[in-house]
Structure 1
Amino acid sequence: MSTETELKSFVQSTLEVKPSLFAKLAPHLELIAAGISGIFILIGWILNHLDYSHLSISLYLLAFVIGGYAKAKEGIEETIANKELNVEMLMIFAAIGSCLIGYWAEGAILIFIFAVSGALETYTMNKSNKEISALMNLQPEEAVKIHPDGREEIVPVSSLTVSDTILIKPGERIPVDGKIAKGTTAIDEAAITGESIPLTKEINDEVFAGTVNLSGSITVILTKHADETLFQKIITLIQSAQSEKSPSQAFIEKFEGAYVKIVLSIVVLLTFLPHFFLGWSWNETFYRAMIFLVVASPCALVASIMPATLAAISNGARAGILFKGGVHLENLGHVRAIAFDKTGTLTKGMPVVTNVIVHDEYSEKEIIQLTASIESHSNHPLAKAIVRYAEQKYKEPLKQPESIQDNSGWGVTAKMDNAEWRIGKAAFVGEKEAKNFQNEIFNQLSAEGKTAVFIQRNDEIIALIALKDIVRTESKKAIEHLKQHGIYTIMITGDSEKTAKAISNESNVNEYIAECLPEKKVTSIKELKEKYGIVAMVGDGINDAPALATANVGIAMGEGTDVALETADVVLMKNDLPRIAEAIHLSKRMNRIIKQNIIFSISVIMLLIVSNFLQVVALPFGVIGHEGSTILVILNSLRLLKS
């Protein structure tokens, strides 16, 4: 009985091990087949020199089948599907032709090197796919749900809905986007933004799926469903990018079909014409035709672009720069001008209090506390900024107004401390009274691009609070980097002329366009395209989406609206403008490597074709020269995987 149990256990363990072993080896099967093919070729070559020619031919045939199966299958399937010959079929014909004239070793070596180059291409593809697999493995499948009665339950992430509450312990990965309802912690967001330094997160701060909770336990209220998270969007973006071909790749693939037909036509002519016109023997004529078939094949040319593109997309994804396709990655390197939205892009999109000017009879603390008490009932960004300023500076409880009325777009009216208060723009409290209050300072603040909020008690203006949307600290650095690349920078904003001028001077852009509604932004982008050719647009809001779509390359900030993320061609997962210069550098580097590959591959083909007609290159050297150039081209492309 024990023997039977042991046998069953052995069979079960064997069945469990084999699938896992196969799964590990599956990505490397082409390379393994090429290696086995090479071993058979080496043994066959040794046996041939020991006068076992028949046995060596059998080993060469095995090398043909094992090494060439994958590429032959791919070539035949594509030919049937597209009804057009391809480069794989050329290699099959060349290998068969080599055998027909007795060059078994050369034909086998051709298949071997072709298999190695194919394995390298597959490696590049797998390396790029690995980035997605690694990302997908970062998203947990289960979460601890907290029910309204406080009960905890482990549930599948897919069953969670918006407004559900989950518990995330230290060391656990966050399963879904949400906001912290309880607790303080440090979050590692490297998977989303590429930023290695953990960020401190408190109540009401956003957390994202795929990031890691490092220190404290936190309770999170879900804001998105599992398939709508920022993390899921990243995966979708990378997957779509890999399937979209660049213009260069599309051209090469279109060119390949016509080129293969031309090569085969020339091969047919070469099997006859040199014998009659150049006096070559029939054997030499057919031999040179087979060499031409090998050396004229565009393997290296075909492999010049796709591996480089996939490697660059993979490199960008690791750095938090997501390209939605090779076409956008290629275009980015040719950009001559970049237009920036102001709010949330060049600036933080969050106004802050910069100046507080008060009447001599009042203190700054008194005015700020009173204004914040009234503004705490408004959702306007300026009101929130004043409340935030009061809380951070004075940290005292706010009072409750007796009554309050919000005048949308103008300001608020309130009754408090036996007085009537009006807080808002100059036109709301009275243009004349506003100008009379600290007139010189008001003009100076306006020239600096600051927004003035006046505080009026009964009929007297007693204070002025200036606010400004602060330029990001990295904006100047980003603009400077772009200028070093020879790129013209423009700021496009809906703000007034004075504000636009102040922000443009501070951020150091070349030009600004003020008072732009969404339709004017589109018109401005079209005008820039006419002037500069290839133009990029950087934005984060719903109002930027039309301009992002109009630009040759639309770049969205990762913290922007869903509409902007959907519309853009490139997404910066961290709101880090210097990454744009990095993306452009990566694009230029990719374009440069592709150009190197194309020039090198064409040069090798031409050199080998000329050498063949001069009868100075033998089939083995033709095979090594042609397939070696393919391997070198792919290895050159793999350099893009490095940062």
Structure 2
Amino acid sequence: MDKIKKEQSHEGHSHEEQNHDHQHNHGKAPVYLYFVGLVLSLIALVLNENYEGLQNSLFLIAIVTAGYHVIVAEGLKETIERTKNNQKFTPNSHILMGLAAIGASLIGEFWEGALLILIFSGAHFLEDYAEGKSKREITKLMEMNPTTARFIMPDGAIKVVDVEELKVGDQLQVLNGGQVPIDGIILSGTTTIDESAINGESMPKEKTKGDLVFGSTINGTSTFSMEVTKENKDTVFSKILQLVNQNQGNQTKAASIIQKFEPKYVTFVLLAIPLVMLVAPLLSDWTWSESIYRGLVLLVAASPCALAASTVSVTLSATSTLAKTGVLSKGSTYLSQLADIKAIAFDKTGTLTRGKPEVTDDYFNDSIDRTKIVDIIVALEKKSNHPLANAILEKYDEKNKIDINVINQIGKGLTGEYQGKNYRIGKPTSFKVVSDEYSQLNTDWASMGKTVVYVAEDEQVIGLIGLMDIPSLEAKATIDYFKNLGIHTTLITGDSQMTGQAVGKALGIDEVIANVMPEDKSAIIDKQKAKYGITAMVGDGVNDAPALVKADIGIAMGDGTDVAVDVSDLVLMKNDLSKLVNAHKVSLKMKQIIWQNIIFSMLVVTFLVVVSLIGLADITISVIIHEGSTLVVILNGLRLLRTPKKRSLL
């Protein structure tokens, strides 16, 4: 585990370096300095013209304190880093805003320079705050990994040892209710094991001598002995840990609209302004002094104030609105990408389905007293703690209370004596002689993904019950919504092909991939990204963690495991898939408003540049139009604060 922790630390460090543009660790000092600059600017504003020297000095100090971190520590440094990485000049608007503030100060408009910096730096800090804590945490995942095991000594004595000390061939004891410490094979004993941490399936698996067991799964009611078949670093659960770390380190998020547009715009302005200053005196009657002045006015006019604010209010509003409707976002970047998804993959159990089996069908011989047999079934199942028992008890109500001495045998099911006859409820393979009628029903129901149990009287099958983890009420409408938009839908499940296909067919899913282990899910997401483009993954279990991290947008069901929630980008509270549809609609609206703001901002800049070139605008006019356009884009973004009325998914 120490090795895994070291790898996590190293890979997390690399990840931060690779994504420095998007995840700044400001600390508190730069924010404090920003507020110092803000206070100094407010003080300067209330001073009258008799204190012009002090006023301008305060504005200059405000420019330095409020803008140093964003303009110099980030802007200049990132420009250098991105230029080196891309092997071409790749500036960002930090540089342009710094030059605009300097230009405004040089022509005596210190308040304009301070205002530009306060707006830009404030927007920058605010957007990073809105992004929230997007770093994926795997602490809970690591805590689920067993650390000790009950080692069987040569003399039969039991010794508790560290899991990392175990070697292939060692023999262990696993107590009832305990955690399987490592991958291995059962030597003696029969039990049921909850393997949901590995395959996501809610129904425990019956295990006996010769069957494989996996580390971190939970043993049922019986103690068994096992032989270690893999070292700790090679277990299935360790592979999950390694995949989450690896995917986190290698993950790259698509750049936002502003990030894609920004370098080109800044480069153009940086080239155009000096060109205007040099060419204007040669082509017009401007003096060199007037040309330099006009160039500085142009620099201020071209500074993207509104552009800088065009995404902040939109993303904050979208994040706030979704939070009110039960969708938690760990960053506006993920919401932006959600609007652009080309494929979406779903886990089955607990995501598309309700997460627990329910009785869907039953059939009993016409010669049987149904009321009596139901009373017997309830009496037997009351003595069982199997998930199927809970489903059966929820379905059937007893008319007459019967007290039966019940024996629970792994592999055979529940048996009990009543009025001189033996009754048994068990899986179909535990019965030797079954009529064609029941066999055919078993085949038909199983082909629909249902789990079937037989009910027998003196080993003669007299009825059968079909159970299934059925799709949630919102699942079909959600799948239809994405399909209607041309987004490819995929079901990825650890269940059998038959069960997966049955659920996929019922929901109309484009593609079903079954019998999948956690490492397979991660690889499948990789293929989907390569084939379709931006891909989302929706899941709720530990086994979904590698795929949730690998996907461009990992979406967790809120009632799922803490691990799935921790490593995801969006969380749907209350396991309601209709919230995913709403989130996608909001993300589309968010993208639309961002583009409206960008286009409007650039039109304003273009207008200011034109009127500045022909001498119709001065700094005062530029300031009024600049700040007015900034207010417009902020108000436009705030439209998303209106919580949408509950509508049909389609």
Indicate the TM-score class for this superposition, using the shorter chain for normalisation.
0.5 to 0.7
* Match in the other structure for 2:263: 255
Aligned to 2:99: 90
RMSD: 3.9
1:593: which partner in 2?
Answer: 593
1:463-542 correspondence runs (5 A): 463-542=463-542
Listed as ranges, the matches of 1:320-331 within 5 Å are 320-331=326-337
Aligned to 1:394: 398
AA at the equivalent of 1:251: Q
* Aligned 8 A contact 2:558 2:565 in 1: yes
Confirm or deny: 8 A CA contact 1:452 1:467 kept in the other structure. Answer: yes
1:334 shift after superposition: 0.9
Q: Which amino acid aligns with 2:407?
A: S
SS, match of residue 469 in structure 2 = strand
Q: CA deviation at 1:538?
A: 1.4
Aligned equivalents of 1:123, 1:524: Cα separation in 2:
37
Superposition deviation, residue 467 in structure 1 = 1.5
Tell me the CA shift for residue 557 of structure 1.
0.7
Paired residue type of 1:323: S
1:558–1:575 CA contact under 8 A, matched in 2: yes
CA drift of 1:460 comes to: 0.9
In structure 1, list runs of 5 or more residues that go unmatched: 1-25, 45-54, 100-105, 132-243
Partner residue in 1 for 2:319: 313
Shift of 1:580: 0.9
- Report if aligned partners of 1:378, 1:406 keep a CA contact under 8 Å in 2: no
User: What are the superposed Cα offsets for residues 404-455 of structure 1, whole Å, 9 maximum, x if unpaired?
Assistant: 3222xxx41524234444422221113xx33524455445434544322102
Cα offset for 1:28? 10
Describe the SS at the equivalent of 1:434.
coil
Question: Aligned to 2:431, which of 412, 429, 432?
Answer: 429
Please give the secondary structure, in 1, of the residue aligned with 2:368. coil
SS at match of 1:470: coil
Whether contact under 8 Å (1:110, 1:624) holds in the other structure is no
CA distance in 2: counterparts of 1:639 and 1:492, whole angstroms? 37
**TM-score, normalization: structure 2?**
0.63
1:75 and 2:54 are equivalent in the alignment = no
Q: Provide structure 2 residue ranges, at least 5 long, that are not aligned to the other structure.
A: 1-32, 78-93, 134-251, 644-650
Distance 1:317 1:246, change over 3 A: farther
Deviates more, 1:72-81 or 1:466-475: 72-81
Q: Which is worse superposed, 268-277 or 464-473? A: 268-277
Q: TM-score, normalised by structure 1?
A: 0.64
Native 8 Å contact 1:374 1:400 kept in 2: yes
The one-letter amino acid paired with 2:426 is: G
Shift of 1:586: 1.7
Aligned to 1:380: 386
SS in 2 for 1:630: helix
Post-superposition Cα deviations, 1:300-326, rounded to whole Å, max 9, x if no partner, equal 333333443333223322222122223
| Mapping for residues 620-635 of structure 1, pairs under 5 Å | 620-635=620-635
Q: 1:363 to 1:480 in 2, by over 3 A?
A: same
Tell whether the 8 Å contact from 2:103 to 2:299 is kept in structure 1 after alignment: yes
Q: 1:455 to 1:33 in 2, by over 3 A?
A: same
Counterpart of 1:336 in structure 2 is 342
8 Å CA contact 2:383–2:406 kept in 1: the answer is no
> Residue type of the partner of 1:597?
N
Deviates more, 1:107-116 or 1:556-565: 107-116
Distance across 2 between alignment mates of 1:321 and 1:539: 14
What residue number does 2:306 align with? 300
Q: Structure 1 pair 71/350, CA: closer, same or farther in 2 (3 Å)?
A: farther
| Contact persistence 2:381–2:414 (CA under 8 A) | no
Distance in 2, Cα, partners of 1:27 & 1:288: 30
2:512 alignment partner AA: Y
Offset, 1:464: 0.9
> 406, 410, 420: which is aligned to 2:410?
406
Q: Pick the aligned partner of 1:353 from 354, 359, 370.
A: 359
Q: Deviations over 1:304-363 (max 9, x none)?
A: 334433332233222221222233222211112222222211111121223332234432
**Residue type at the aligned position of 1:617:** A
Q: Which moved more, 1:412-421 or 1:472-481?
A: 412-421
Cα separation, 1, equivalents of 2:36 and 2:435: 79
1:203-256 CA distance string (max 9 Å, x none): xxxxxxxxxxxxxxxxxxxxxxxxxxxxxxxxxxxxxxxxx9972278369839
Q: Which residue of 1 aligns with 2:548?
A: 548
**In 2, Cα distance between equivalents of 1:250 and 1:128:** 15
Change (3 A) 1:67 1:396: farther
Amino acid of the residue matched to residue 68 of structure 2? Answer: I
The answer to whether the Cα contact below 8 Å between 2:60 and 2:110 also exists between their aligned partners in 1 is no
- The one-letter code sitting in structure 2 at the alignment partner of 1:630 is T
Offset of residue 636 of structure 1: 2.7
Alignment of 1:178-189 (within 5 A): none
Contact 1:367 1:463 (C-alpha < 8 Å) held by counterparts: no
Q: Secondary structure at the match of 1:509?
A: coil
- Kept after mapping to 1: 8 A contact 2:413/2:427: no
2:107 aligned counterpart, secondary structure: helix
C-alpha distance in 1, partners of 2:642/2:130? 12
**Post-superposition shift, 1:288?**
0.7
CA distance in 2, matches of 1:406, 1:128: 51
Instruction: Give the conservation status (yes or no) of the 8 Å contact 1:449–1:499.
Output: yes
Contact 1:352 1:467 in 2 (8 A): yes
Report the alpha carbon displacement of residue 38 of structure 1 after superposing the two structures with TM.
6.4
CA deviation digits over 1:533-561, x for unaligned, max 9?
22222121223223323322221111111
Question: How many pairs align?
Answer: 477
What one-letter code is carried by the residue in structure 1 that aligns with 2:487?
I
Q: Which moved more, 1:343-352 or 1:438-447?
A: 438-447
* Counterpart residue type for residue 409 of structure 2: Q
Distance 1:28 1:485, change over 3 A: farther
Measure how far apart 1:87 and its partner are: 4.4
Give distance in 1, aligned partners of 2:312 and 2:580: 23
1:87–1:246: structure 2 CA closer, same or farther, 3 Å change rule?
farther
Cα deviation digits, residues 121-163 of structure 1 (max 9, x gap): 777888998x9xxxxxxxxxxxxxxxxxxxxxxxxxxxxxxxx
Q: 1:115 to 1:563 in 2, by over 3 A?
A: closer
Q: Distance in 2 between matches of 1:413 and 1:590?
A: 56
Cα 1:468–1:76 change in 2 (3 A) is closer
Contact 2:63 2:114 in 1 (8 A): no
Instruction: Quote the Cα distance in structure 1 between the aligned partners of 2:71 and 2:121.
Output: 17
Residue-by-residue CA offset, 1:180-214 (whole Å, 9 max, x unaligned):
xxxxxxxxxxxxxxxxxxxxxxxxxxxxxxxxxxx
What is the identity, as a one-letter code, of the residue corresponding to 1:426?
P
